[in-house]
Every structure is written in structure tokens, then in C-alpha cells.
Amino acid sequence: MTFYRQLSATVTWAALAVAAVAVAAPNIARAADAYPSRPITMVVPFAAGGPTDVVARSVAAAMSKSLGQSVVVENRLGAGGTVSAAYVAKSAPDGYTILIHHNGMATAPALYSKLPYKPLTDFSFVGQVADVPMTLLGRHDLPANTLPELVSYIKQNQSKVNLANAGLGAVSQLCGMLFQKAIGVDLQTIPYQGTAPALTALLGGQVDILCDQTTQTLPHIKSGKVKLYGVTTAERIPALPDAPTLREGGLKGFEVKVWHGVYAPKNTPPAVIDKLNGALRTALKDPAVVARMKDLGAVIVPADKQTPEGLHSWLASEIDKWSPIIKAAGVSAD
């Protein structure tokens, strides 16, 4: 008797569970259909006005048009971008909180042994955005005018020269670390919450050297307010055709290119990811975005990279590429 009562209770609960799923499924589908019904927050890991912010605001404005809802940029600073990534990883997977981040998604696992998220598994992937070259800059009154002169100046004044960056996990840190390794020095580094304040410090002469992205540095290079020692890409770039690469200046094999991806928390419904990805791809064709990226020296990635799969496989390859380099350099947040 007891057995039959238990069985009938189990059957009743099972029936209720099936009924609940049956009721919930159309609701989930309707929620995804209605998405987005309110503004979306795009979290940016670095300071307002800086290179990541500039790309984010251009793309967010264009995505707003096709989604029919505002995509509002929110700057959450700290720990080389990991504060923002952790925040989005733990946000509700409903498509209303998304992240734009760069190479820092790939370098953080090697830099932070206690990283509170797993880049490859704690996110749903939306797609890649644009690649950006970096430039190696000095304050305008630094005595060196070329890369070889800079290298010999640094070697003669190692204890006095400092290098700004945006913290461990920032591309400015990655580029600065590779530069120091390439020339065999260990400089004092001064971290900021983004390269917007770091560049302000360089312009004000409070720091000596900064590796930063063309999306922020071009106007200051063109107006001569900073010294340019080279670009970090393998080839010269159309935005600065006369600037030598760091390779040309003697740093064999040197290459850093900044790439950007858009992420949502893991388990975001596929229909929501489809809408976000569609809006991203439409944004990357928007004439205003195309023109803005060109002006900033950024290159919109090809269509196959603007996909969730394109971003996921690229991130995996970048983690594989940078982890051993960072480990060998002995740089860590611990």
C-alpha cells in the first residue's frame, strides 16, 4: 500500500514536472522572441575614452539601431580587465549583460592563478569585432628619436626609465613585457585602469614609455605630442605608412595585434545569441562603423570570425599561443 502511495506520488510529481517543462518551454521561446525588450549593457573592462571603449561605443551604437533597444556601455575597471569578465561571467544569461574584451581573455589564465572564471567555458560567444595595431610611444621630450636610439637610451638609464600599462591582462602590459624581454631589460612599470589615463600621463611627461593601440594614439602621433618608435604588427600599417615596424627596428619576430570579441554569460539561449550575433554582423557593415574603424587604424575581421565559433576557436588558439610565453616570462599576478 505504502509502495503504491509512493509510486503514485512519484508519478504525480513526474507529471507535474513534465507539465512545468511544457509550460516553461514556450515561455523561454517567447522570451527569446521578444528579446530585447529593454536596454542591454555592454561592459567594457577599461577606462572611458580609451581604445576598448572607443571600439565598444561605435559598435554598441550600431547594434542599438538593429536591435531596436539601446546598448549602453558601462566601464567596469580593474585587474587588467578581469573584474569586468568575472562580472559578466556571473551575470544572468539573458542577453542583457554582455562583454567586449580583447586579448586579455587569452592572457589572463596564465597571469592569474585564481582567475574567477574560465574564458572558454564560462561564456556564450557572440563573435569577433576588429583587429587593432599597437604603437610603441615615448614622451615627447625623450632624447631618443628612433627605436635603436630608444633601446640604447633605456640600457644606459635602466633604473630611471619607466613604462606605463593598463594592468596585468592589458595588451599594453603584454606588449611592454615582450618589449622588455626582447631588449633584455626589467623596467619599473606603472599600472593605470586603462590606457586613456596612461596616455594622459605620457602626454604630461609623468611616464616615459607606453605601448598603446592606434584607436587612441593616432591623433597624438600625428600632432607630434608623443614620439613614435614603431608599430607592433608584422607589416607596416596603412594608417601610419611611414612608421617602421618594431621588427624593422631590430626586434626580431616581434608582433602584437589586438583583437576584440563580444561575449555573453554561459547558457545564454541560442536564439538570444543569434540576435546578438546578427546585430554585431550588421554593425560591422554599418558605414559609420566601417569609417570609424578605418580612421582609427582598426581592421574589421572577416565574416567567418564574426561568428560564435570563430571567436571560440580563436580564443582557444590565443590561450595556447600566449600561456607558454607568459609563463616563460615569469610574469604573474600572484
Number of H helices, E strands in the chain: 11, 10
Q: Which stretch binds ligand MLT (CB under 6 A): 21-29, 58-66, 123-131, 168-176?
A: 168-176
Among 85, 129, 171, 231, indicate the residue that binds ligand MLT (CB under 6 A).
171
Can residue 52 be called a binding residue for ligand MLT (CB under 6 A)? yes
Q: Which residue has the cell 569578465?
A: 85
Cross-strand pairs, 123:
265
Cα 20 from Cα 41, distance rounded (Å): 31
Question: 10 Å Cβ neighbour count for 155?
Answer: 12
Using CA atoms in the order 305, 307, 309, 311, what is the torsion angle rounded to 10 degrees? 50
The helix (run of H) or strand (run of E) holding residue 283 is helix 270-283
Binding mask 59-98 for ligand MLT (x = CB under 6 A): ----------------------------------------
Q: Which is nearer to ligand MLT, 94 or 318 (CB)?
A: 318
Can residue 105 be called a binding residue for ligand MLT (CB under 6 A)? no
Least distance to ligand MLT, CB of residue 152, Å = 26
Question: 10 Å Cβ neighbour count for 29?
Answer: 12
Phi-psi region of 90 (alpha: psi -120 to 50; beta: other; left: phi over 0): alpha
Residue among 240, 249, 251, 250 nearest 298 (CA): 240
Contacts of 86 (CB under 8 A, 6+ apart): 115, 116, 117
Name the pairing type of β-strands 226-231 and 123-139: antiparallel
Among 46, 117, 125, 254, indicate the residue that binds ligand MLT (CB under 6 A).
46
Which cell numbers in the block locate residue 51? Answer: 581604445
DSSP state of 184: T
Among 32, 43, 51, 261, indicate the residue that binds ligand MLT (CB under 6 A).
51
Q: What sign for the dihedral angle of Cα 79, 132, 261, 56?
A: positive
Question: 10 Å Cβ neighbour count for 28?
Answer: 12
Least distance to ligand MLT, CB of residue 308, Å = 23
Check if the beta carbon of residue 114 is closer than 8 Å to that of residue 171. Answer: no
Can residue 58 be called a binding residue for ligand MLT (CB under 6 A)? no
Least distance to ligand MLT, CB of residue 163, Å = 12
Least distance to ligand MLT, CB of residue 166, Å = 4
Least distance to ligand MLT, CB of residue 93, Å = 25
Q: Which is nearer to ligand MLT, 42 or 171 (CB)?
A: 171
Can residue 170 be called a binding residue for ligand MLT (CB under 6 A)? yes
Q: Which is nearer to ligand MLT, 48 or 182 (CB)?
A: 48
Which cell numbers in the block locate residue 96? Answer: 542583457
- Applying the rule CB under 6 A, the residues between 185 and 224 that interact with ligand MLT are 194-196
Can residue 107 be called a binding residue for ligand MLT (CB under 6 A)? no
Least distance to ligand MLT, CB of residue 165, Å = 6
Q: Which is nearer to ligand MLT, 195 or 214 (CB)?
A: 195
Question: 10 Å Cβ neighbour count for 16?
Answer: 10
- Applying the rule CB under 6 A, the residues between 241 and 270 that interact with ligand MLT are none
Q: Which stretch binds ligand MLT (CB under 6 A): 42-50, 110-118, 222-230, 268-276?
A: 42-50
Can residue 301 be called a binding residue for ligand MLT (CB under 6 A)? no
Q: Which stretch binds ligand MLT (CB under 6 A): 10-18, 27-35, 165-173, 290-298?
A: 165-173
The residues of the shown chain that bind ligand MLT, judged by CB under 6 A, are 46-47, 50-53, 102, 166, 170-172, 194-196
